[in-house]
Amino acid sequence: MVSMVTYVGKSILKGIAVGKILFYEKEEQMVQRRSVEDAEHELARYEKAREAAQAELAQLYERALKEVGELNAGIFDVQSMMLDDEDFNDAVRNMMEAQKVNAEYAVAVTGDNFAKMFSEMDDEYFKARSADIKDASERVVKLLHGKGEEWSIGDEPVILAAKDLAPSETVQMDKSKLLGFVTELGSANSHTAILARTMNIPALIGVPVKPEMSGKMAVIDGEEGIFYVDPDEATLAAYREKLKEQEQKRKLLAELKGKENVTLSGRKIELYANIGSIGDTARALANDAGGIGLFRSEFLYLEQSGYPTEDEQFKAYKTVAETMAGKKVIIRTLDIGADKQVDYFDLGKEDNPAMGFRAIRICLARPEIFKTQLRAILRASAYGNLAVMYPMIISVDEVRRVKAMVEEIKKEMDGAGIPYGDFEQGIMIETPAAVVISDLLAKEVDFFSIGTNDLTQYTLAIDRQNAKLDDFYDSHHPAVLRMIQTVIDNGHREGCWVGICGELGADETLTETFLEMGIDELSVSPSRILPIRKIVRESKI
């Protein structure tokens, strides 16, 4: 009798998958060290393979561009740049020339050395990039061996199990045949994990996998982070029922697409999406978002080793503006500090970073960084319906300083003949200070967006990163709800529209309360738009 085996892993995407396992084992690259007499010949072989690898990466980029968006497709641009890296190439060539070894060996050893170097770095982002170095160097070795880039899942939908998956392997999968995947290695920050989330594939990492799992029935529970192998009939039936319920719910919600967010009494609000990258725009559109209520621009800073240029930022903002085709896109300016640290900003250690040097404070203290971002946003405003939102505002003076910078940039652009469009300026209400003076702030801006995560933290004096305080953290606290009502009332008196972009916006138990308060807009994760629309349309308010 076969008994069920349960494994606990780390969830990459919450979701359920039920099906047979296919164990994927990467073909071992048997690289032998050979002594060679003609180093020039090996150098020529390496250059040819490197160019062929970059051609393959260019094709993968184009494929990924269509399937997972520009930001995620950039993985393959990064890998191609790695193969152009001077240090990497010098190491490969030096080994061939000094040690008189074959190209395959020189590339494999250099790839291993660089991957190890990156994996030992303190920065999580660079740690995760070690897999990209490995992927790129293995591609060159494979080409030096004269092997192509083919592998197939097969005809039957499966749960893929593997020791690890490279980004290129993930992109090449036939998504219609992939129910989910589990890997033993990898990290939540790896490009493979990011791709899984973008492609909406249930996935777990940190699960010990074995070749003998192939062909066995399995269940991925992305909610609990559990992988069941050979599930018993009761478990299998329960998860199949969950899948059926999910599908029924999905179909029911799909019927709401294209419908207005209007209550039974005729009260209308806007339902927008929160996004953290260009790739999320597709999810916003797929879930029928009326616009983007929070575009977290810091991803441009978090995913690079240096400050993003004006053109890099402009390109990202323009892409989202054009993709949303006239729907409002609200870009939150740089919001780093606290739990979002960027090494090259050199912010230094703080005893209480949540109340420290962060967000608008950094921007006002380092205007050269802020002006670069503002200029990129203004340029992009010529290509769509953009608005800009400033985080962590606590005073009228801060707003006026920011607006003065915007006016200065507009004059510079006018002088240079650079076009920009009409755009709203708003602020996030995240502190009790901003709530108390919201009547004054409303005279300065076009809209408010309430960041309920930080507002709750600062109002209750509870660090939301501290697990010991979970029992004391109450996002429904009357003080928080009263503050939201105050902001709405003060905003409306001065002609400001008011939205919520924090997690409370997606809290279905509060949707009717927010409607009663007079909220104009809720911005939530894309998957929450249709469930909230359902509540709005059934409300009598």
Between CA 115 and CA 55, with CA 198 as vertex, the angle to 5 degrees is 55
Specify whether 460 is located in the same domain as 337. Answer: yes
Question: Out of 186-190, 363-367, 408-412, 523-527, which region has the weakest mean confidence (pLDDT)?
Answer: 186-190
Specify whether 137 is located in the same domain as 48. Answer: yes
Residue 248 lies in a domain: no
Active-site residue set: 191, 501
Q: How confident is the model at residue 539 (pLDDT cuts 50, 70, 90)?
A: very high
Q: What is the pLDDT of residue 93?
A: 93
Q: What is the mean pLDDT of residues 342-367?
A: 78
> Using CA atoms, how far apart are residues 60 and 75, in angstroms rounded to an integer?
10
> Which one is predicted more confidently, 38 or 27?
38
Specify whether 388 is located in the same domain as 517. Answer: yes
Alpha helices in 20-123 (DSSP H): 39-82, 86-99, 103-119
Which of the 8 DSSP states describes residue 503?
G
Specify whether 345 is located in the same domain as 416. Answer: yes
> Which one is predicted more confidently, 247 or 478?
478
Whether the predicted pLDDT of 457 surpasses 80 = yes
Whether the predicted pLDDT of 250 surpasses 80 = no
Residue 461 lies in a domain: yes
In one letter, which amino acid is 314?
Answer: F
Specify whether 389 is located in the same domain as 510. Answer: yes
Q: How confident is the model at residue 344 (pLDDT cuts 50, 70, 90)?
A: low
Q: What is the pLDDT of residue 338?
A: 57
> Using CA atoms, how far apart are residues 245 and 180, in angstroms rounded to an integer?
18
Tell me how crowded residue 28 is: count the other CB atoms within 10 A of its CB: 6
Q: What is the pLDDT of residue 259?
A: 94
Q: What is the mean pLDDT of residues 207-225?
A: 92
For the segment 416-431, what is each residue's pLDDT rounded down to a tens digit?
Answer: 999 999 999 999 999 9
Q: What is the pLDDT of residue 64?
A: 79
- Please tell me the total count of domains within the chain: 3
Specify whether 217 is located in the same domain as 276. Answer: no
Whether the predicted pLDDT of 339 surpasses 60 = no
For the segment 323-335, what is each residue's pLDDT rounded down to a tens digit?
Answer: 999 999 999 999 8
> Which one is predicted more confidently, 302 or 389?
389
Q: What is the pLDDT of residue 346?
A: 67
Residue 365 lies in a domain: yes
Q: What is the mean pLDDT of residues 349-364?
A: 79
Q: For the chain, give the longest Cα–Cα distance.
A: 85
Classify burial at 250, counting beta carbons within 10 Å of its beta carbon; exposed 0-12, middle 13-18, buried 19 or more: exposed
Dihedral of alpha carbons 220, 225, 228, 232, sign? negative
Look up the CATH number of the domain holding residue 169.
3.50.30.10
Look up the CATH number of the domain holding residue 293.
3.20.20.60
> Using CA atoms, how far apart are residues 204 and 368, in angstroms rounded to an integer?
42
Q: State which H helix or E strand residue 440 sits in.
A: helix 438-441
For the segment 472-496, what is each residue's pLDDT rounded down to a tens digit?
Answer: 889 899 999 999 999 999 999 999 9
Residue 251 lies in a domain: no
* Average pLDDT along the chain: 88
Last residue of a domain, one of 89, 113, 144: 144
Tell me how crowded residue 235 is: count the other CB atoms within 10 A of its CB: 17
Specify whether 451 is located in the same domain as 370. Answer: yes
Q: Which two tokens stand for residue 473?
A: 């953290």
Specify whether 375 is located in the same domain as 320. Answer: yes
Q: How confident is the model at residue 13 (pLDDT cuts 50, 70, 90)?
A: confident
Specify whether 448 is located in the same domain as 348. Answer: yes
Residue 241 lies in a domain: no
Residue 499 lies in a domain: yes
Tell me how crowded residue 377 is: count the other CB atoms within 10 A of its CB: 26
Q: What is the pLDDT of residue 462?
A: 86
Tell me how crowded residue 194 is: count the other CB atoms within 10 A of its CB: 22
Residue 436 lies in a domain: yes
Under 8 Å between Cβ of 345 and 362: yes
Specify whether 363 is located in the same domain as 471. Answer: yes
Predicted model pTM: 0.62
First-last CA distance in the chain: 58
Q: State which H helix or E strand residue 238 sits in.
A: helix 233-254
Specify whether 88 is located in the same domain as 115. Answer: yes
Task: Give the rounded percent of residues in the chain with a pLDDT score beyond 70.
Answer: 91
Last residue of a domain, one of 95, 125, 144: 144
Q: Which two tokens stand for residue 61?
A: 């980029």
> Which one is predicted more confidently, 462 or 504?
504
Look up the CATH number of the domain holding residue 128.
1.10.274.10
Question: Out of 245-249, 314-318, 486-490, 500-504, which region has the weakest mean confidence (pLDDT)?
Answer: 245-249
> Using CA atoms, how far apart are residues 21 and 7, in angstroms rounded to an integer?
14
Q: What is the pLDDT of residue 123?
A: 62
For the segment 193-203, what is each residue's pLDDT rounded down to a tens digit?
Answer: 766 776 778 88
Q: What is the pLDDT of residue 220?
A: 94
Specify whether 73 is located in the same domain as 133. Answer: yes
Whether the predicted pLDDT of 111 surpasses 70 = yes
Last residue of a domain, one of 217, 236, 255: 236
3-state helix, strand, coil in the chain (%, to 5): 50, 15, 35
For residue 205, list its beta bridge partners.
10, 183
Query: Closest by alpha carbon to 370, among 341, 401, 326?
Result: 401
What range defines the domain where residue 458 resides? 267-538
Residue 525 lies in a domain: yes
